[in-house]
Amino acid sequence: MKYSFLLLTTATASMATARLNRRQQQSSCPNVHVIGARETTAPPGFGSAATVVDLVQRGNAGSTSEAIVYPAAGGDSYAASVAVGVAAVANQTRAFNQKCPDTQIVMVGYSQGAQIMDDAFCGGPDGASLSTTEASVSAGVSSMVAAIILMGDPRHVDGLPYNVGNATAGGFAARPVGFSCPAFENIIQSYCDAEDPFCAKGTSMATHQGYGREYGQQAFEFVQKQLSAKASNATTASSRNSTSGTMTIMSNSTSNSATPSASSRASVVPISSASVVMNEWSLWVGMGLAALLL
Ligand SMILES: *[C@@H]1O[C@H](CO)[C@@H](O)[C@H](O)[C@H]1NC(C)=O
Ligand SMILES: *[C@@H]1O[C@H](CO)[C@@H](O)[C@H](O)[C@H]1NC(C)=O
Ligand SMILES: *[C@@H]1O[C@H](CO)[C@@H](O)[C@H](O)[C@H]1NC(C)=O
Ligand SMILES: *[C@@H]1O[C@H](CO)[C@@H](O)[C@H](O)[C@H]1NC(C)=O
Ligand SMILES: *[C@@H]1O[C@H](CO)[C@@H](O)[C@H](O)[C@H]1NC(C)=O
């Protein structure tokens, strides 16, 4: 009798401790992390992706960002640069997701930076750069990515559901006609106008460099919409899993793992204090249950 009481209590306490540790570990993680990739020959950093990276960061208090580290080289080195870039997108997103599995991820790629994200999420083949048709990103990344913004993507081809802009011609590394990216088509926006020499067959460098000014705000609004849709989806999914009365208490601590969007965050109890309360609560509920059983 005494022994089983002790076992139950100990089990409940260690469950509570495990959850508390998980929360503490992730309390240093942001709700939103933005990952940007620059265009060919831009110096290390975000390059022209900075416009949207900055808008998203400013729109989501506490969010963090990082730049994809790759050569962004042109000319004869372009294909090799894309190959390294695709691997870098896969590696950096995986590493971040392993560290912060509950953080929503936003991708912003500009020109060659768009191409490497397009390839990493939607697969190849891509000339000499990538032979596989498989996505390179991990399953964890796939489930936490909320939006993918591509600007001046050389892989642009007419007819994709996520195309924005008036380009109809394909880019210099265009996808084949009929290509699709079903896993991510609802969360991608790919901006390309007819005058762009790289994502279409135009002649205006100004168009290619101008997507931040032309579409930055629109892209930002798309990102915000996706972030809050995904956050409320996660909340719905976790509360749907609760069954009994006792589980209702548990479901509230589970729902803390949903990453609230900027718009809903204000009304959410700070995660750390809420989960401490919940963990102590479940400990007492567990002890109460144990006492009843004996
Ligand atoms: C990606 O990770 C793999 C395996 O850890 C490593 O071999 C490769 O050099 C990395 N590539 C880049 C571009 O970071
Ligand atoms: C395409 O859209 C851009 C940006 O709105 C505009 O400046 C350009 O005139 C348009 N081109 C065509 C061919 O419609
Ligand atoms: C919401 O969840 C459903 C079912 O799990 C999924 O099919 C859908 O893509 C999700 N929507 C978003 C915006 O994550
Ligand atoms: C809900 O339960 C299903 C089936 O047990 C599981 O696959 C899913 O991951 C759960 N979702 C959450 C958010 O806990
Ligand atoms: C649990 O969450 C729901 C919805 O977020 C809220 O209405 C309810 O008061 C919470 N219950 C507890 C015990 O915190």
For 61-82, how does the pLDDT look when each residue is reduced to its tens digit (9 = 90+)? 999 999 999 999 999 999 999 9
Closest CA to 209 of 51, 54, 44, 66: 51
37 C-alpha to ligand 1 centroid (Å): 17
Distance 250 CA to ligand 4 centre (A): 13
- Whether 124 and 136 have beta carbons less than 8 Å apart is answered as no
Q: What tens digit of pLDDT does each residue of 125-177 get?
A: 999 999 999 999 999 999 999 999 999 999 999 999 999 999 999 999 999 99
Categorize the per-residue pLDDT at 21 as very low, low, confident or very high, splitting at 50, 70 and 90.
low
Q: Give the whole-angstrom CA distance, residue 36 versus residue 89.
A: 9
Domains and CATH numbers, the chain: 32-230 (3.40.50.1820)
Looking at per-residue pLDDT, the higher value among 109 and 280 belongs to 109
Query: Does the Cβ of 166 fall within 6 Å of ligand 2?
Result: yes
Tokens of 136: 């390179």
Active site residue 196: yes
- Is the CB of residue 87 below 6 angstroms from any atom belonging to ligand 3? no
> CA 40 → CA 71, 116, 216, distances in Å?
8, 11, 19
- Neighbouring CB atoms inside 10 A of 196's CB total 30
Choose the catalytic residue: 119, 190, 196, 238: 196
Task: Say whether pLDDT at 1 is over 50.
Answer: no
Nearest 5°: CA angle at 116, between 209 and 160? 75
Q: How far is the CA of 281 from the centre of ligand 5 (A)?
A: 14
Token pair for 276? 């401490």
Q: State pTM to two decimals.
A: 0.72
Q: Please work out, in degrees rounded to the nearest 5, the angle formed at the alpha carbon of residue 197 by the alpha carbons of 115 and 220.
A: 55
Distance, first Cα to last Cα, the chain: 7
Q: Between these two residues, 188 and 17, which has the higher pLDDT value?
A: 188
Write down the residue that tokens 């109809």 correspond to.
168
- At residue 237, the pLDDT reads 72
